[in-house]
Structure 1
Amino acid sequence: MSTFLFTHCMARTERASPRLLCTAAQQKSGQGSEEDQHAEQSAAEKGLAEEKGQLEDQLKEVTDKYKRALADTENLRTRSQKMVEDSKLYGIQRLCKDLLEVADILEKATESVPSEEVSSQKNPHLKNLYDGLVMTDKQMQKVFAKHGLVKLNPDGGQKFDPYEHEALFHAPVEGKEPGTVAVVTKVGYKLHGRTLRPALVGVAKAP
């Protein structure tokens, strides 16, 4: 009886061994497959991370180019607008310079008439001519002012400004501070705040 049981147990053990081996092999194979899958997943994640970084760099580059292009466009628009405005303001600059010569002649003509001759009743024709010149000069100055052209006539004692004045000479002048305008030989003009013609002046200096 004992011999029969031993033989039966050995037979069952021999039949069970291939199954155990197969199960062990499957478990080992499954572990290897999981490792391969994990490696593939890690490689894929690494590739996606690299691709993401490249896309972010490209996006940053495109964004920077867009911002620069936008800034260039805005600068161009601003410059173009400034050019149009300057053209409107200073487009008459050449005409104004020509008219200044006429204004100078009128001013010299009125200054050349002696004041006693004007106030005297002996020569009414001269007085009428003088009054006409004065009225013409005033009207011309009104037209100039209407278009932004104003006379630049520095008062005595005003500090010399190289942007508005042109010094013809420097000389000691009694009662004048050094570096100030002592005498004006020819008035200047400004067009919309920009010096069109500097005033010709003599500048006082220290003795």
Structure 2
Amino acid sequence: MACWCVRSSCSLVASSSLRLLCTATQQKNGHRSEDEVEKPEQISGEKVLMEEKSQLEEQLKDMTEKYKRALADTENLRTRSQKMIEDSKLYGIQGFCKDLLEVADILEKATESVPKEEVTTQNPHLKNLYDGLVMTEIQIQKVFTKHGLVRLNPDGQKFDPYEHEALFHAPVEGKVPGSVAVVTKVGYKLHGRTLRPALVGVAK
């Protein structure tokens, strides 16, 4: 009975040793167990995940670009709106200024039409009228200057099509060709923008 138990134990030990030897040999030869072998379903799932990741990255990149463009468009719109507001503050009175220019022209013509030789103390009524016209003309020019309206009298200056309107070209002695020889009506600029060009004759 004891001999049978010893033989059985030896058989078990030999069997276990044989299994361990086979497993070590498989690992040494690079063989994978069934758990280590990638199944087709696992490979397919990883491929799908990689494709989804790539698509999400592209969508993120596209949305980022759209966001940056939207920010730039918003900033440009804000800048244009601010510029329009500033221009409206500066040039909102230009219609009113144009109407006042006609009044200034009438005052200038009235002052020029008074015979200077008759403006004496012996003719007090005419003198008072003339002095009143002169003072009114000076005051209106001060008001114009205060609001950014500047008078243009380009006599002798080089002709500028952005500030002057040529009525005629004629040879004028003593004038450089291309310069303003005669000013028929003075012009005005409002904050650097030509409100009314000066009407001139140009020497040729």
Secondary structure at the residue paired with 1:176? coil
**Which residue in 2 is equivalent to 1:179?**
178
Distance 1:57 1:91 in 2: 49
**Which residue in 2 is equivalent to 1:55?**
56
- The structure in which a higher percent of residues are helix is 1
Superposed counterparts of 1:22-101, under 5 Å: 30-36=32-38, 43-101=44-102
Counterpart residue type for residue 55 of structure 1: L
Distance 2:67 2:144 in 1: 47
**Which residue in 2 is equivalent to 1:163?**
162
Distance 1:129 1:30 in 2: 119
Distance 2:107 2:199 in 1: 18
**Which residue in 1 is equivalent to 2:4?**
none
Q: Offset at 1:33?
A: 4.0
Superposed counterparts of 1:129-144, under 5 Å: 129-144=129-144
- Structure 1 unpaired stretches of 5+: 1-7
Q: Offset at 1:84?
A: 1.1
Deviations 1:93-121 (A, max 9, x none): 11111111000000000011122222x33
Counterpart residue type for residue 154 of structure 2: P
- Superposed CA RMSD: 3.0
Secondary structure at the residue paired with 2:176? coil
Counterpart residue type for residue 64 of structure 1: E
**Which residue in 2 is equivalent to 1:197?**
196
Counterpart residue type for residue 182 of structure 2: V
Greater than 4 Å deviation, 4+ residue runs: 27-30, 39-45
Counterpart residue type for residue 55 of structure 2: Q
Distance 1:101 1:133 in 2: 15
Is residue 107 of structure 1 aligned with residue 108 of structure 2?
A: yes
Counterpart residue type for residue 140 of structure 1: I
Distance 1:30 1:87 in 2: 81
Distance 1:88 1:30 in 2: 83
Q: Offset at 1:47?
A: 3.6
Q: Offset at 1:32?
A: 4.5
Counterpart residue type for residue 132 of structure 1: G
Distance 2:192 2:43 in 1: 72
TM-score (normalizing by structure 1): 0.80
TM-score (normalizing by structure 2): 0.81
Distance 2:179 2:35 in 1: 98
